[in-house]
């Protein structure tokens, strides 16, 4: 019976998420909407394609005129489960990215349930109660509403493992549980959604302090947890250091200036008691001026009643779990709770930039499931608890599944397809033919249909001068606002000035428009030719965009970025200014003659050019300048200059020369070194520890006792 109960519990925790998302996984006529296809599919597509072509995905030339893909934590480059997706995608001849990511979500829901089940078993709960808790978490409001945010789902799934590591370290040191805690903390960061990472880390600290405060932990418990956090930082350095560098060079650094503390609206508390209290099942009726996916906090009637009971129960652990759920819920409301905005403002700016209180719902759902299960364990009887677990699964599937916040109309095959945009036959082929008249291909930009012609560009290999990332390069966006407008915090900016010389400089060969914001006469005056092909968008062709690489004979030198910005403003006003001259930051060097450039090789991480001129020239590119790009001239290292405020340039002498530019970011290698040394040190340290140094499992783990 024991073996059967174990197998049944595990099987249910594996099958329940599949049942929840059966409409998008099995004979699908629906899909998980929004960011899963608009944001995460392009990231996975680019990574898989780079590996298929024998390159590691370091630099993405298809968005923002070039972007440091490896530094974007959201891409999950160093998240081991993501490597499985790379292999599965490249093993197939079909574009399966969307379908794989949907299963990725479901797999992490399984993981969340199984890990919480394991935690509850180690805390002395019976199998039925542990199944109840695992079900409550994996089918909770968070996983029901945030499936579009793949990284958020991944990060939340590791929370129970972190709690389990803390729980097992409360009495003494254990090798495997210390490593379990380090693993959980590291994976919660590498998952790629920093807001949920913060929620997980806060929940771990609160859990550890709470256990110590109720007398569960000895004096070394909190130091052990602190050391585990430090070790986790070392493990993730390979991602952390590049991401920190990118944050300092992107709009992400200003998130703290624009944020007001955030948090879910106060009225969302009603949905804890009634799922559709704010009409999230019919979004057109929602009156809250807020993303309606955060207006759903329903985790079931039974867990709610049990969690409320846990707050008043005399048992220490049960009350701790109930209090933890309450605190995490309050943190989810952010600035709507007095004092929390001031608390956020007191944090380091680097922390504030990724602080989105609404994502504390992930930790709240985990704590509520924990509290409800511990309270259920205290109630008499056993068989009815199996029925309670089954009834909860049925309730949460019926209430939360196939709702607007997690299910969109149409199969995954129709979403973000490599060969189609907006179900317009032939559009992708036409654009590729237009753009590939030049090598490397010209770029595309958009006036209003940004989703298909910015972040989604890697899906169809249509190079874009724009993009959509929270880590958008600061200087590129500053230039883009010269012809696209937008606020300082916006990152996906539509073109508004079709006559801007910047579109020509950025090698934009095709401009897409949907609504009639600019007249046909204005397009003609700006020398954009309307293409006769009929699609759902109008397409305009730039007859002769500037090459991506060219030589100029005039350089206007500037001591720094501020001076460069002023000189660039003057240069842009001059007729043909960006074609015959460039503004260069740094120490002046002789430049007197223009010349010719031939592109020999153009790959994501490497560019090889041949230049020829009769005098010293300046090689100008419309490729984003970023730390880590290195250049050689005829095999000898030469400095890369920042030209026209945001792009790469090199001074070249007279005559024929070969210029090679490669992206080899030193900070990535330093991060890899720190991660490697940390992993090696952990391995050696663990091997040297004697087995008898480990403490035996707490009696509660084997005797079925919940209270300490």
> Per residue in 614-643, pLDDT tens?
999 999 999 999 999 999 999 999 999 999
- Domain contains 380: yes
Q: Which residues contact 212 (CB under 8 A, 6 or more apart)?
A: 170, 221, 222
Domain final residue, candidates 501, 522, 542:
542
Question: Is the pLDDT assigned to residue 704 strictly greater than 80?
Answer: no
Question: Is the pLDDT assigned to residue 118 strictly greater than 70?
Answer: yes
- Give me the mean pLDDT over the 396-413 stretch: 95
Burial class of residue 304 in the structure, from the number of CB atoms within 10 Å of its CB (0-12 exposed, 13-18 middle, 19+ buried) = middle
CB 637 within 8 A of CB 260: no
Task: Round to whole Å and give the CA distance between 499 and 494.
Answer: 14
How many structural domains is the chain composed of?
3
Specify the DSSP element, H or E, that contains 445. strand 443-446
Question: Is the pLDDT assigned to residue 423 strictly greater than 80?
Answer: no
Q: Which residues contact 4 (CB under 8 A, 6 or more apart)?
A: none
- Domain contains 418: no
φ, ψ at 529 (rounded to 5°): -95, 125
Structure tokens of 316? 């220490």
Structure tokens of 436? 């590939």
What integer best gives the mean pLDDT of the chain? 93
Q: What is the DSSP string of 53-111?
A: TT--S--BTTSTTSB-GGG-GGG-TT-HHHHHHHHHHHH-SS--HHHHHHHHHHHHHHH
- Give me the mean pLDDT over the 311-331 stretch: 95
Q: What is the pLDDT of residue 488?
A: 75
Question: Is the pLDDT assigned to residue 326 strictly greater than 70?
Answer: yes
Q: What is the pLDDT of residue 316?
A: 94
Q: Is the pTM of this model over 0.85?
A: yes
> Per residue in 489-498, pLDDT tens?
788 889 999 9
- Domain contains 414: no
Q: Report residue 1's pLDDT band, with 50, 70 and 90 as the boundaries.
A: low
Domain final residue, candidates 542, 561, 585:
542
Residues 464 and 332 both lie in one domain: no
Q: What is the pLDDT of residue 649?
A: 98
CB 414 within 8 A of CB 423: yes
Residues 39 and 80 both lie in one domain: yes
- Domain contains 128: yes
Q: What is the pLDDT of residue 700?
A: 38
Residues 102 and 184 both lie in one domain: yes
- Domain contains 678: no
Residues 533 and 561 both lie in one domain: no
Q: Report residue 389's pLDDT band, with 50, 70 and 90 as the boundaries.
A: very high
Residues 529 and 633 both lie in one domain: no
Q: What is the pLDDT of residue 692?
A: 41
Residues 158 and 280 both lie in one domain: yes
Question: Is the pLDDT assigned to residue 694 strictly greater than 50?
Answer: no
- Domain contains 458: yes
CB 340 within 8 A of CB 328: no
Residues 350 and 471 both lie in one domain: no
Q: Tokens 């008249």: give the residue.
A: 437
- Domain contains 420: no
Task: Round to whole Å and give the CA distance between 177 and 158.
Answer: 14
DSSP 8-class letter at 414: G
Domain final residue, candidates 523, 542, 561:
542
- Give me the mean pLDDT over the 447-453 stretch: 80
Q: What is the pLDDT of residue 689?
A: 63
SS3 per residue for 640-703 = CEEECCCEEEEEECCEEEEEEEEECCHHHHHHHHHHHHHHHHHHHHHHHCCHHHCCCCCHHHHH
CB 356 within 8 A of CB 100: no
Question: Is the pLDDT assigned to residue 260 strictly greater than 90?
Answer: no
- Domain contains 218: yes
Residues 394 and 450 both lie in one domain: no
Residues 374 and 274 both lie in one domain: yes
DSSP 8-class letter at 516: -
Q: What is the pLDDT of residue 708?
A: 42
Q: Which residues contact 706 (CB under 8 A, 6 or more apart)?
A: 123, 124, 125, 315, 317, 318, 374, 377, 378, 700
Q: What is the pLDDT of residue 354?
A: 82
Q: What is the pLDDT of residue 587?
A: 92
Q: Report residue 258's pLDDT band, with 50, 70 and 90 as the boundaries.
A: low
Residues 248 and 391 both lie in one domain: yes
Indicate the range of 90-99, 449-458, 501-510, 602-611 predicted with least confidence. 449-458
Residues 596 and 687 both lie in one domain: no
Question: Is the pLDDT assigned to residue 596 strictly greater than 50?
Answer: yes
Task: Round to whole Å and give the CA distance between 705 and 120.
Answer: 11
- Give me the mean pLDDT over the 502-506 stretch: 97
- Give me the mean pLDDT over the 142-162 stretch: 98
φ, ψ at 619 (rounded to 5°): -80, 120
Question: Is the pLDDT assigned to residue 436 strictly greater than 50?
Answer: yes
- Give me the mean pLDDT over the 347-354 stretch: 78
Residues 133 and 168 both lie in one domain: yes
Question: Is the pLDDT assigned to residue 27 strictly greater than 60?
Answer: yes
Q: Which domain holds residue 615?
A: 551-664
Q: Tokens 């079925």: give the residue.
A: 704
Q: What is the pLDDT of residue 693?
A: 45
């Amino acid at each position: 019976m024991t073996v059967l109960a174990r197998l049944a519990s595990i099987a249910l925790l594996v099958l329940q998420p599949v049942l929840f998302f059966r409409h998008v996984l099995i004979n699908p006529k629906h899909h998980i909407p929004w960011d899963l296809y608009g944001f995460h599919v392009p990231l996975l597509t680019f990574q898989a394609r780079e590996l298929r072509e024998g390159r590691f995905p370091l630099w993405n030339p298809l968005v923002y005129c070039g972007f440091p893909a490896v530094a974007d934590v959201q891409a999950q480059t160093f998240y081991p489960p993501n490597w499985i997706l790379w292999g599965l995608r490249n093993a197939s001849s079909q574009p399966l990215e969307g379908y794989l990511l949907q299963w990725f979500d479901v797999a992490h829901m399984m993981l969340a349930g199984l890990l919480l089940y394991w935690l509850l078993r180690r805390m002395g709960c019976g199998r039925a109660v542990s199944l109840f808790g695992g079900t409550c978490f994996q089918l909770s409001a968070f996983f029901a509403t945030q499936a579009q945010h793949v990284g958020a789902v991944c990060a939340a799934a590791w929370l129970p493992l972190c709690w389990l590591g803390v729980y097992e370290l409360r009495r003494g040191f254990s090798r495997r549980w210390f490593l379990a805690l380090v693993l959980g903390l590291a994976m919660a960061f590498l998952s790629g959604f920093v807001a949920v990472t913060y929620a997980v880390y806060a929940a771990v600290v609160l859990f550890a302090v709470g256990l110590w405060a109720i007398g569960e932990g000895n004096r070394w418990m909190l130091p052990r947890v602190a050391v585990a956090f430090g070790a986790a930082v070392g493990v993730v350095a390979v991602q952390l250091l590049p991401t920190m560098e990118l944050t300092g060079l992107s709009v992400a650094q200003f998130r703290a200036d624009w944020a007001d503390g955030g948090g879910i609206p106060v009225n969302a508390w009603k949905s804890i008691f009634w799922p559709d209290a704010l009409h999230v099942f019919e979004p057109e009726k929602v009156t809250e001026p807020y993303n309606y996916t955060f207006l759903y906090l329903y985790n079931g009637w039974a867990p709610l009643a049990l969690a409320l009971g846990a707050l008043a129960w005399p048992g220490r652990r049960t009350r701790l779990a109930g209090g933890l759920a309450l605190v995490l819920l309050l943190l989810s409301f952010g600035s709507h709770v007095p004092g929390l905005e001031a608390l956020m403002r007191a944090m380091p700016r680097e922390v504030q930039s990724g602080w989105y209180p609404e994502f504390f719902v992930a930790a709240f759902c985990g704590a509520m499931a924990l509290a409800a299960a511990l309270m259920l364990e205290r109630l008499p009887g056993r068989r009815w608890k199996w029925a309670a677990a089954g009834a909860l699964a049925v309730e949460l599937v019926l209430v939360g599944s196939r709702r607007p916040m997690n299910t969109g109309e149409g199969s995954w095959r129709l979403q973000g397809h490599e060969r189609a945009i907006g179900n317009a036959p032939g559009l992708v082929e036409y654009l590729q033919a237009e753009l590939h008249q030049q090598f490397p291909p010209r770029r595309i930009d958009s006036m209003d249909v940004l989703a298909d012609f910015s972040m989604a560009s890697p899906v169809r290999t249509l190079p874009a001068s724009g993009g959509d990332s929270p880590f958008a390069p600061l200087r590129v966006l500053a230039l883009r606002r010269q012809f696209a407008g937008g606020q300082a915090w916006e990152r996906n900016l539509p073109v508004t000035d079709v006559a801007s010389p910047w579109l020509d400089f950025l090698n934009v060969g095709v401009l897409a428009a949907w609504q009639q914001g600019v007249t046909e006469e204005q397009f003609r005056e700006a020398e954009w030719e309307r293409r006769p092909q009929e699609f759902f968008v109008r397409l305009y062709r730039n007859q002769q965009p500037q090459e991506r690489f060219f030589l100029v004979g005039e350089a206007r030198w500037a001591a720094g970025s501020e001076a460069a910005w002023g000189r660039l403003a003057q240069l842009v006003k001059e007729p043909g200014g960006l074609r015959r001259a460039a503004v260069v930051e740094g120490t002046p060097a002789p430049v007197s003659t223009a010349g010719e450039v031939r592109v020999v090789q153009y790959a994501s991480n490497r560019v090889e050019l041949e230049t020829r001129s009769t005098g010293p020239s300046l090689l100008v590119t419309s490729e984003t300048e970023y730390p880590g790009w290195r250049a050689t001239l005829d095999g000898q290292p030469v400095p890369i200059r920042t030209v026209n405020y945001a792009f790469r340039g090199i001074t070249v002498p007279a005559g024929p020369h070969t210029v090679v530019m490669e992206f080899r970011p030193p900070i990535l290698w330093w991060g890899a070194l720190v991660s490697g040394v940390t992993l090696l040190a952990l391995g050696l340290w663990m091997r040297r520890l004697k087995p008898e140094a480990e403490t035996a499992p707490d009696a509660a783990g084997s005797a079925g006792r919940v209270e300490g």
